[in-house]
């Protein structure tokens, strides 16, 4: 099966990181992060994955509405 790798820029990562840093420990939706960062919601999802892989943030599940709809809170590690 083919895999698709979406590359995110450092500028995008820095924008999202700053929003998460201001809201660390709070339960916040990706749509709200995107709104505060001034970015597309789908793009923010990929940036968050990159930040977690780079160990800049932790993504902690808070509430699972079902198997696919999980609300997270984010914490800065660095």
Residue 59: which CATH number?
A: 1.10.10.10
pLDDT beyond 70 at 60: yes
pLDDT beyond 90 at 1: no
Round to whole Å and give the CA distance between 37 and 67. Answer: 27
Range of the domain at 35: 10-76
pLDDT per position as a tens digit, 29-53: 999 999 999 999 999 999 999 999 9
- Count of domains in the chain? 1
In a domain, 71, yes or no: yes
Quickly state the pLDDT bin for 17 (edges 50, 70, 90): very high
Phi, then psi, of 74 in degrees rounded to 5: -120, 140
Round to whole Å and give the CA distance between 73 and 6. Answer: 23
As a whole-number percent, the residues of the chain with pLDDT over 90 amount to 76
């Amino acid at each position: 099966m083919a895999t698709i790798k979406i590359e995110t820029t450092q500028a995008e990562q820095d924008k999202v990181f700053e929003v998460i840093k201001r809201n660390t420990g709070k339960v916040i939706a990706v749509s709200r992060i995107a709104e505060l960062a001034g970015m597309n919601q789908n793009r923010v999802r990929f940036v968050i994955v990159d930040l977690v892989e780079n160990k800049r943030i932790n993504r902690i599940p808070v509430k699972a509405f079902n198997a696919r709809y999980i609300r997270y809170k984010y914490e800065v590690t660095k």
